[in-house]
Amino acid sequence: MERKLFQPRPDWQQQHENIGFDYYSLPSLDGSVYWSEGVAYEFSLKQIEQLEDASNELHQMCMQVAGDMIQQGNYPDYFQIPQAAIALIEHSWHNHAPMLYGRFDFAYDGRNIKMLEYNADTPTGLLEASVAQWHWIEQVKNIPNRDQFNSIHEDLIKRWKTIIPPGSQIHFAACQEAGREDWGNLEYLMDTAFQAGHKVSELSMENIGWDGQHFVDLNEKQIDHLFKLYPWEWIWEENFSQYLKPETRWIEPCWKMLLSNKAILVELWKKFPNHPLLLESHAYQDHIQLQGKWVKKPILAREGANIRVLKDGTDMGAASGSFHFDDYDKHGYIVQKWVDTPLFDRQLPTLGLWMVGHSCAGMSIREDRYDIIGNDAHFAAHYFVE
């Protein structure tokens, strides 16, 4: 695994604009922009196969843990699952409500893989992972025998065909005030569903209505299939959650609440202790003194928020690159063993392994000078050589 520099493409900005990736230029703390043109990570085919196998294994482990929790009706307090959500979690699981996609975040040093978390409900970074970096590998010069671990686009189209009846109407929704990155991801997913032969329309979560029997859009059209780039834990805090019922097909399904909650890391460690792909994790309790170096993570948070470093039981302060958001405090925390990974040209990469359905379909990389990959960390392309 090496970090390589390349000559920037002369029209790379226009290349991104052409595919709707117009947020490539969002500013980062170091004065540069989100997309790192001319930077890519090189892997061997053996490393790619290792990462793919690890993703598939970890996904099956997560599914096993979720299935056991649902079978036993055992939802530990540290998951903070709303009581009202349990019936829909269980119904969606028992009726095999299908998932669309998700993303693992890995720490990787070229040999050892450690799962940091599973973004199983509302992962973003999809357009750049699937299309933008594929365009890069097609256009860059002077890399013999190159390829890229990336079938995300084709697999999404196939998945839409599998999980939704042909020609169905699918509504796509995000928060009205969400940033361009969220809406860009939403529009990209709409395009893949359209290419799969479905009818698509977009609206904000705030504009979803209730006609007394069904959820409806602004044209009073019934919503039967809804993709929401909006976390399930937020949905259960909305007034309209009282009307949730199994007849509406939600993507992602409600059982994904178990996988997207960082408390799943605790359950994974309990069920698979000392597994080489896992980092030791526990529910956080302030009276327990843990030896060594750990990170304290909120169970429900995004973009690296509210992460703190603990050393021999002492709070060492916020991890570099993290920020604090009061709302993420309310659900509780886990602790996860610290993992050291090497710097590459003073950058720390985190690997994103994308699941489409139940199979790994590709990889993306975010890098930053900080310990935590936050909202403005850079996106870098990748490739492998045989």
Q: Do 176 and 239 lie in a common domain?
A: yes
| C-alpha distances out from residue 327 to 302, 357, 375, Å | 11, 31, 17
Q: Do 356 and 322 lie in a common domain?
A: no
Residue 286 lies in a domain: no
Q: What are phi and psi of 311, to 5 degrees?
A: -135, 120
Residue 279 lies in a domain: no
Residue by residue, pLDDT tens for the chain (386 residues) are 999 999 999 999 999 999 999 999 998 878 889 999 999 999 999 999 999 999 999 999 999 999 999 999 999 999 999 999 999 999 999 999 999 999 999 999 999 999 999 999 999 999 999 999 999 999 998 888 889 999 999 999 999 999 999 999 999 999 999 989 999 999 999 999 999 999 999 999 999 999 999 999 999 999 999 999 999 999 999 999 999 988 889 999 999 999 999 999 999 999 999 999 999 999 998 888 899 999 999 999 887 888 999 999 899 998 888 888 788 888 999 999 999 988 999 999 999 999 999 999 999 999 998 888 877 799 999 999 98
Q: Do 211 and 251 lie in a common domain?
A: yes
Q: Do 211 and 326 lie in a common domain?
A: no
First to last CA, the chain: 13
Q: Which of these, 26, 73, 18, 92, lies nearest to 257 by C-alpha position?
A: 92
The answer to whether the CB of 83 falls within 8 A of the CB of 73 is no
The answer to whether the CB of 360 falls within 8 A of the CB of 353 is yes
Q: Do 195 and 313 lie in a common domain?
A: no
Contacts of 240 (CB under 8 A, 6+ apart): 208, 210, 215
Q: Do 171 and 220 lie in a common domain?
A: yes
Q: Do 60 and 116 lie in a common domain?
A: yes
Q: Do 76 and 153 lie in a common domain?
A: yes
d(CA 266, CA 280): 8
Residue 161 lies in a domain: yes
Residue 13 lies in a domain: yes
Residue 269 lies in a domain: no
Q: What is the pLDDT of residue 195?
A: 98
Residue 278 lies in a domain: no
Q: What are phi and psi of 78, to 5 degrees?
A: -70, -5
Q: Do 22 and 108 lie in a common domain?
A: yes
Q: Do 226 and 295 lie in a common domain?
A: no
Q: Do 303 and 351 lie in a common domain?
A: no
3-state DSSP assignment of residue 309: strand
Q: What is the count of structural domains for the chain?
A: 2
Domain that holds residue 357: 2-261+345-385
Q: Do 210 and 153 lie in a common domain?
A: yes
Q: Is 52 exposed, middle or buried (0-12, 13-18, 19+ CB in 10 A)?
A: middle
